[in-house]
Amino acid sequence: MAEVSHVPVMLDEWVDALVLDPDGRYVDATFGRGGHSRAILERLSPQGRLLALDRDPEAVREGERLVRRDARFTIVHASFGQLDEVLAEHGWDKVSGVGFDLGLSSPQLDQAQRGFSFQQEGPLDMRMNPDEGQPLSAMLRTVSERELAKLIRDYGDERFAGRIARAILQAMREGRMKTTADLERVCFHAVPRSARYHGVHPATRTFQALRIWVNDEMEQLRQGLSAAIRHLRAAGRLVVIAFHSGEDRIVRDVIEQAVHPCTCPPQFPVCVCGRRPSMRWVQKKPLRPDEREVEINPRSRSARLRIAEAVS
Ligand SMILES: C[S@@+](CC[C@H](N)C(=O)[O-])C[C@H]1O[C@@H](n2cnc3c(N)ncnc32)[C@H](O)[C@@H]1O
């Protein structure tokens, strides 16, 4: 299978915000095909170091090629929810910056056998790490209609979530749900006729929601961001690109909690709870890609970039 490349999103904005100290230690929590990692390495001096993570073994294989060419770089096959353990294993306590570029890489989306795409027929899998957890097909065997509808609504913002969940489970029971093409067809026919040809394809939001569910992405993100904040040294940067509103809300909320941790009632004249901010916003209102980038790389259209800095 020919390797498909990945065009990094908001590359300059991301790396400008992240790398302020060329001699520092940095973490790229989502290596992918290494576009952002390579940009970090270009900014680092011979003393600087970069540790990258990815939960996808194919991404890690790609990263190992870069390890052989650049002694400042290390890659680990791990989920960013395990960032605490990974840093401890490498003897890194405080770091100068942690960057995230969430979601899927183009090779993941474009390889039919990974099961992420409704545009190509593949197995119902969707695991970013195929050696961990259960594929979508197994998870659909045990989920209730109510749970499935809720997760399609919550993770996909899908207004026809109830109809789609019912149709998916009915197709499962009748043995008509074997591949991503079956899932695409079921989603298409589950929505009202009037919604089939307007806006995005009727399977888009459901595929996104199921992928988030299979990979436990929201919990991973909460854990990864919290660990990153704990490990930033003073003035260290947290820089995150999110691609949908649920993800971006978690980024905003986890950082906001670190910026305003005080739990004292608003009428108290001074803080007595003792919780002090550990972060400050550098860019609270998310940056968006400019028109030129969206034109060249339509995948960047929904990107939102947030930047925060450690204050202690
Ligand atoms: C959008 S791509 C990153 C692309 C990369 N910045 C580049 O320029 O090539 C997101 C990557 O993050 C990885 N990923 C997603 N969730 C992860 C997690 N919880 N832990 C580690 N890696 C994760 C995916 O496997 C994917 O390779």
- Of all protein residues, the one whose alpha carbon is nearest to atom 13 of ligand 1 is 30
Burial environment of residue 62 by CB neighbours within 10 A (0 to 12, 13 to 18, 19 or more):
buried
- Sort 121 into a burial class: Cβ within 10 Å, 0-12 / 13-18 / 19+: middle
Ligand 1 neighbour 220 (Cβ under 6 A): yes
Q: Whose CA is nearest to atom 2 of ligand 1?
A: 105
* 138 and 223 in a common domain: no
- Mean pLDDT, the chain, integer: 95
115 Cα: distance to centroid of ligand 1 (angstroms): 16
Pairing of strands 73-77, 95-101: unpaired
Residues 168 and 227 in one domain: no
**306 within ligand 1 shell (Cβ under 6 A):** no
Q: Which of 194, 214, 234 is the last residue of a domain?
A: 214
283 in the same domain as 225: yes
- Tens of pLDDT, residue by residue over 183-239, are 999 999 999 998 888 888 999 999 999 999 999 999 999 999 999 999 999 999 999
Residue 55 CA, ligand 1 centroid: distance in Å: 7
Look at residue 256 and tell me if it is in a domain.
yes
**What residues are paired with 241 via a beta bridge?**
101, 305
Q: What is the pLDDT of residue 122?
A: 96
Q: Whose CA is nearest to atom 25 of ligand 1?
A: 56
111 in contact with ligand 1, CB cutoff 6 A: no
Number of domains in the chain: 2
* 300 ligand 1 Cβ < 6 A: no
Domain assignment present for residue 196? The answer is yes
Q: Which atom of ligand 1 is nearest to the CA of 56?
A: 25
Determine the distance separating the centroid of ligand 1 and the alpha carbon of 30, expressed in angstroms: 4
Rounded distance from Cα 56 to ligand 1 centre (Å): 8
Q: How far is the CA of 129 from the centre of ligand 1 (A)?
A: 11
Do 83 and 68 share a structural domain?
yes
Q: Is 79 in the pocket of ligand 1 (CB under 6 A)?
A: yes
Q: Kindly report the CATH number assigned to the domain that includes residue 273.
A: 3.40.50.150
Q: Answer whether 214 contacts ligand 1 (Cβ < 6 A).
A: no
Is 248 found in the same domain as 194?
A: no
Q: Is residue 120 part of a domain?
A: no
The predicted structure's pLDDT at residue 5: 82
- pLDDT reported for residue 2: 43
Same domain, 221 and 210: no
**CB-based contact 52:28 (threshold 8 Å):** yes
Note down pLDDT in tens along the chain; length 312 residues.
445 588 999 999 999 999 999 999 999 999 999 999 999 999 999 999 999 999 999 999 999 999 999 999 999 999 999 999 999 999 999 999 999 999 999 999 999 999 999 999 999 999 999 999 999 999 999 999 999 999 999 999 999 999 999 999 999 999 999 999 999 999 999 999 988 888 889 999 999 999 999 999 999 999 999 999 999 999 999 999 999 889 999 999 999 999 999 999 999 999 999 999 999 999 999 999 999 999 999 989 999 999 999 996
36 C-beta closer than 6 A to ligand 1: yes
Distance 267 CA to ligand 1 centre (A): 43
Is residue 114 in some structural domain?
no
Domain presence at residue 265: yes
What is the span of the domain harbouring residue 300? Answer: 11-107+217-310
